[in-house]
Chain A
């Protein structure tokens, strides 16, 4: 296996009754790379992400993260090990403000949360770090805003912000561009482009144009299998990929 692989997925299988959703997936994400995972609807992207994040247990296969076997680790253990994620559908906490979301993400990563006496607000280090994140998310004027006042693009940015707040080593970005308008997409693309200095990214995305601009490597998932993996230009020309996926666009 690749010595610099940060995430190393080996022979992952998952079936639901008679439906094989993940059919022997091998996938490596290297340190510092932006790796895009694309595939048509029903290819098994969601099931694969759920297994990588720890929501769903694979039937067989191994997931190695940072030289550690995490196949049996729970979702929160994976997050603590430095595997962050954003969700396809924006999921924010209704009773929290913008800054509080980021502070919450930092709190989750900094020791246990069983203290029931001291207010979190006194932990200025958390809030200073959270505040420092606002500008790059384009939310500097919304620190105290309740989330129902945010636009869809701002919510997406906050969702990604929570995933990266605690400086994870790898971030699973599950369709961060989904549902963004023409003016919002470039901003999200710039935000993701900026992340590459901090963490490796596994970008699950539908927007193929953005993927080819951002990614160092691209893997194509069709029918629960990776049918091609490599540099964007190679993958774009791969006859199997053209036939199975890109040709349909």
Chain B
């Protein structure tokens, strides 16, 4: 039913004469992919990364720069985004995963801010004004990403694949090991798990998925600015994960949809929408610790 709704949504909105909301739905999906990748590292991995926007921004910039240089092959963008994000995540992870708790939060934040200032200073690619791209990633099959519905379906496919991979990951060897490490790292290491290596693996995988969200984001907006790398973006993703449900399969999607809808609806009534969003978040943390995704999982399980 849910899948049917997701597939029919653009057609539905079109019929309702609200086709503007197709690109809104696409934005929800892009955020859902980014939040899901953060949930992998934060929720399942227990690594409270406060610099996850770095990977989303990196993916957006890699793609944006390539397009502005005349390289429009989407598969090239994908390959470059994945390898650069993997490399940077490995580097950031190798250093920050040696720390714990607040230090880990601060170091990941610091790395993300470094990239933010780097993007600001690269005048050749827009500097602090950002980078406009005229073309889009070309994936063939007549897929035109300037068309909101086409973009929506591509993002939906990527999100579906990500959620399926996450659902496979959780009960797998790696998933079980990482969950055990999250619960008690020292105990897991004493059992023989190479904890550092396994955590790094998950950190890198999450960074790569974050990069894909960035690739999609720049294609949707035709624009990328240093703001996508700013720490407030990492904060937004974190709020989505908490709202949607830490370490739940649907948490990323539920959180992204809920926060963006709240923002959309409340900003129609008041310019202080963030104030009311704060109350919702507070209520969520107090009364539904597993977030919307937790509620959703319960409902799905009880059927």
Contact between B173 and A93, CB atoms less than 8 A apart: no
Q: Write the nearest CB–CB distance from A80 to chain B, whole angstroms.
A: 5
- In the complex, A165→B168 CA distance in Å? 26
Contact between A104 and B176, CB atoms less than 8 A apart: yes
Contact between A119 and B172, CB atoms less than 8 A apart: yes
- In the complex, A120→B180 CA distance in Å? 13
* Proximity string of chain B (166-192) to chain A, C-beta cutoff 8 Å, 1 when within and 0 when not: 001101111111011001101111111
Q: Contacting A113 at CB < 8 Å: which of B177, B186, B189?
A: B177
Known: A114-B198, A116-B173. A94 touches B183 (CB 8 A): yes
Contact between B174 and A113, CB atoms less than 8 A apart: yes
Number of A-B residue pairs with CB-CB distance less than 8 Å in the complex they form: 94
Q: Contacting A116 at CB < 8 Å: which of B168, B186, B191, B193?
A: B168
Q: Which residues of A contact B184 (CB under 8 A)?
A: 91-93
Contact between B189 and A119, CB atoms less than 8 A apart: no
Interface centre among A55, A79, A105, A108 (most CB of B within 10 A): A108
Q: Write the nearest CB–CB distance from A14 to chain B, whole angstroms.
A: 18
Contact between B175 and A116, CB atoms less than 8 A apart: yes
* Proximity string of chain A (69-92) to chain B, C-beta cutoff 8 Å, 1 when within and 0 when not: 000001110011000110100011
Contact between B198 and A104, CB atoms less than 8 A apart: no
Contact between B195 and A76, CB atoms less than 8 A apart: yes
Q: Write the nearest CB–CB distance from B270 to chain A, whole angstroms.
A: 40
Q: Closest A-chain residue to B191, C-beta based?
A: A108
- In the complex, A95→B175 CA distance in Å? 12
- In the complex, A228→B175 CA distance in Å? 47
Q: Write the nearest CB–CB distance from A96 to chain B, whole angstroms.
A: 7
Contact between B176 and A113, CB atoms less than 8 A apart: yes
Q: Report if A53 contacts B (CB, 8 A).
A: yes
Interface residues of B, count at CB 8 A = 27
Contact between B192 and A116, CB atoms less than 8 A apart: no
Contact between B183 and A120, CB atoms less than 8 A apart: no
Q: Which residues of B contact A85 (CB under 8 A)?
A: 190
Q: Report if A200 contacts B (CB, 8 A).
A: no
Q: Which residues of B contact A107 (CB under 8 A)?
A: 173, 176-177
Q: Report if B284 contacts A (CB, 8 A).
A: no
Contact between A76 and B183, CB atoms less than 8 A apart: no
Q: Contacting A108 at CB < 8 Å: which of B174, B193, B201?
A: B193
* Proximity string of chain A (167-207) to chain B, C-beta cutoff 8 Å, 1 when within and 0 when not: 00000000000000000000000000000000000000000
Question: What residues make up the interface of B, taking CB atoms closer than 8 Å to A?
Answer: 165, 168-169, 171-177, 179-180, 183-184, 186-195, 198, 201, 205
Could you write out 16 A-B pairs with CB less than 8 Å apart?
Answer: A76-B191, A79-B191, A80-B192, A87-B187, A92-B187, A96-B180, A104-B176, A104-B177, A105-B191, A109-B192, A113-B193, A114-B174, A114-B198, A115-B174, A116-B169, A117-B169
Given contacts A79-B192, A80-B192, A95-B179, 18 further A-B contacts (CB under 8 A): A53-B190, A55-B186, A75-B189, A76-B190, A76-B194, A93-B180, A93-B188, A94-B183, A104-B176, A108-B177, A109-B192, A114-B174, A114-B198, A116-B168, A117-B172, A119-B168, A120-B172, A166-B191
Q: 8 tightest A-B contacts by CB?
A: A79-B192, A108-B191, A108-B192, A93-B183, A113-B177, A119-B171, A116-B174, A113-B173
